[in-house]
Amino acid sequence: KNINPISYNYSKDRNFSRNGLLERPSLWYRLGFQTQTDVPRISDINPIQSTSEGSSMNQRFGLKSGVSLFGSINTSFGYSSAKGITQGTGEPRFRRGVNYPEFGLQWSKVKIPFLLNKFFSNASYQFRYEHSIEESGNQRTKEVEDRKTSNNFSPLAGIALNWKNGITSSIRVDKSK
């Protein structure tokens, strides 16, 4: 009863980019079963010098749930990852990232102190933290050339005030490093 449903998501996509095509490629190419277009191209486009020529393949996975505490306090926990390969005119590149932990806390319908309850009906508080690691590099050599680690508090503190006249005001402080 207090455990929120577990949500799971997975996606995979593959994209191709080709310049100067004079005809529409075959259905097999458009569905991703073939990498060559096999159609005529405009003669003055050099595919080697084109920066947008290439392909990419990406996969994403996520898992999320939470726990309700005392009715008005909700927590959320999550994990997500992504990886991809991009191939163009140069060396193939990889990128991968992981977000863990993803943690959130929301305290709803907090009672307002006596002096302020003439103006406000209730308040809510929100906090969210996410740690992420992202890497990229050369796909052939598997060498990691760039690594970024970040800690995001978004929001570090978020307060929403519900006024008696139906207006909602919010204050939010974010911090990233």
CA 10, chain centre distance (Å): 12
Q: Which residues contact 117 (CB under 8 A, 6 or more apart)?
A: none
pLDDT, position 41: 83
pLDDT level of residue 86 (50, 70, 90 thresholds): very high
What's this model's pTM, rounded to 2 decimal places? 0.74
* 127 touches 108 (CB < 8 A): no
Instruction: Give residue for tokens 């490629």.
Output: 25
| More confidently predicted of 104 and 49 | 104
pLDDT, position 45: 65
pLDDT level of residue 19 (50, 70, 90 thresholds): confident
pLDDT level of residue 126 (50, 70, 90 thresholds): very high
Q: How many whole angstroms separate alpha carbon 130 and alpha carbon 44?
A: 48
pLDDT, position 80: 98
DSSP 8-class letter at 143:
-
pLDDT, position 136: 97
Q: Indicate the length of the chain as a whole number.
A: 177
DSSP 8-class letter at 31:
T
pLDDT above 70 for 107 = yes
pLDDT above 90 for 140 = yes
Q: How many whole angstroms separate alpha carbon 32 and alpha carbon 160?
A: 47
pLDDT, position 77: 97
pLDDT above 80 for 154 = yes
Hey, how many other C-beta atoms are within 10 angstroms of the C-beta on 102? Answer: 19
Q: How many whole angstroms separate alpha carbon 71 and alpha carbon 104?
A: 16
pLDDT, position 143: 96
Mean pLDDT along residues 81-85 = 97
Over the stretch 29-70, which tens digit does the pLDDT of each residue have?
A: 888 788 788 898 887 766 555 556 788 999 999 999 999 998
pLDDT, position 161: 93
CA–CA distances in Å: residue 72 to residues 44, 69, 107, 121, 166: 65, 7, 6, 15, 21
Hey, how many other C-beta atoms are within 10 angstroms of the C-beta on 152? Answer: 17
